Structure 1
Amino acid sequence: MHDLLGHAWWMLALRGAAGFVFGALALVLPGLTLTFLVALYAAYAIISGISAISGAIRHRHDTSGWWAPLLLGLFSVVAGGIAIFLPAITALVLVIVMGVNAIATGVFDLITVFRLRGRVRRAWLLFATGVISLVFGVLVIAWPGAGALALVWMIGVYAIFSGALLLVLGLSARGWLRDGLTGHPSTG
């Protein structure tokens, strides 16, 4: 698994950058219409999903754990596709799709972390991303009737934090190849 992430560091960095940009746009423009929010979310989910799928397929022979990012990518692309092909869905359905996608993302990120445990530095960043995704998903599903503005802010903050963590992790993973793909467990 660490081989996959080391070789496909750009996948994590691209996921992080897409999330950060999406979150910043949602916070800077809080008066976004729900239709525009749907389009932004769809673009974010599809870009994130394609990068995960591409990294997994590209390095499927390098590790046996390539299926986790592949499933994450497929789930994200499907969630983005639902948002594109059903733009007239209600805010409630969109909220549930976003929440379920965040929970799935968190679960797959945590699976990856536990497979990497003790082998790479800064794996805690992916753990934090997974936990943030799970918490966000649960909160979104627990309170789907929240107002559109509150939803925009919640989504924006989630995307910025998880995007920043993934971007830092991706840039760190780039160095894993140079460092022999292993870190000292005591360094984090």
Structure 2
Amino acid sequence: MTTVPGSAAQATHGPVTMPFWTLLGAGVITTLFGAAVLAWPGATLRLLGVLTGIWLLVIGVMRVAGAFRAGHDEEHTSGIGMRGVVDGAFGLLLVVVGIGCLRSTATGVIAMSVLIGLAWLLSGFAGVLLGMFAHGHTRGWLLGVGVGSIVVGILFLAWPGLSLHALVLLTGITAVILGVAEIAAAIRARGHATA
């Protein structure tokens, strides 16, 4: 991730960095998504699908935009580095899954559970890969959040027949926990970069 424009703060040290605003924005949006899902625990599958689709589209677009920005800022060219390619590819996959959620909002709990599980897996793999590129304390935070997302994705895929109520609660709780972890990782990384 890259230096935030007009700021000396970086999310990691060394040549491979992640924009503070991208990590923080992803955390805030994930936390808000989880809170919105928990605010309506009796929500219909259609509402869950719409909220999930919007969340994935926003996160995916942010990752793609961050990848282009990172490549420009890191290399002082319009090219994208390896981290940017990985982040951008996962962003595109999240956009595709988000569109799938929006199109499949009424197909059933199992389809929604599988799509949400795939989204958590993709997000987790992206976090782990970005953590491998990162340095210092940010590496540990990104790896932890990535592994957590992978575990949640596996849970969703292992039990696709969850009841709607269980699916809504599990989605909301995991989104809030992982979103707060992303916010904490961004704040900690920024504090480390300015220290």
Instruction: Give the superposition deviation at 1:4.
Output: 5.5
Q: Equivalences for 1:53-64 in 2 at 5 Å?
A: 53-61=64-72, 62=74, 63-64=81-82
CA distance in 1, matches of 2:105, 2:40: 20
Q: Equivalences for 1:120-139 in 2 at 5 Å?
A: 120-139=136-155
| Residues 1:110 and 2:121 are matched in the alignment | no
Q: Say if 1:27 and 1:157, in contact at 8 Å, map to a contact too.
A: yes
Indicate the residue corresponding to 1:183 in structure 2. Answer: none
Q: Equivalences for 1:1-188 in 2 at 5 Å?
A: 2=12, 3=15, 5-6=17-18, 8-61=19-72, 62=74, 63-116=81-134, 119-175=135-191, 177-179=193-195
What are the superposed Cα offsets for residues 86-133 of structure 1, whole Å, 9 maximum, x if unpaired?
3332221111111112112111211111222xx222432212211111
CA distance in 2, matches of 1:30, 1:73: 28
Most deviating of 168-177 and 21-30: 168-177
Report the count of equivalent residues: 176
Partner letter of residue 165 of structure 1? A
CA distance in 2, matches of 1:86, 1:69: 25
Segments of 5+ residues of structure 2 without an aligned counterpart are 2-11, 75-80
Greater relative CO, 1 or 2 (CA 8 Å, sep 6+): 1
TM-score using structure 1 length: 0.85
Quickly say closer, same or farther: Cα 1:157–1:5, change in 2 above 3 A: farther
TM-score using structure 2 length: 0.82
% same residue: 27
Instruction: Give the superposition deviation at 1:25.
Output: 1.7
Segments of 5+ residues of structure 1 without an aligned counterpart are 180-188
What are the superposed Cα offsets for residues 46-74 of structure 1, whole Å, 9 maximum, x if unpaired?
11111111111112142432112112211
CA distance in 1, matches of 2:66, 2:16: 7
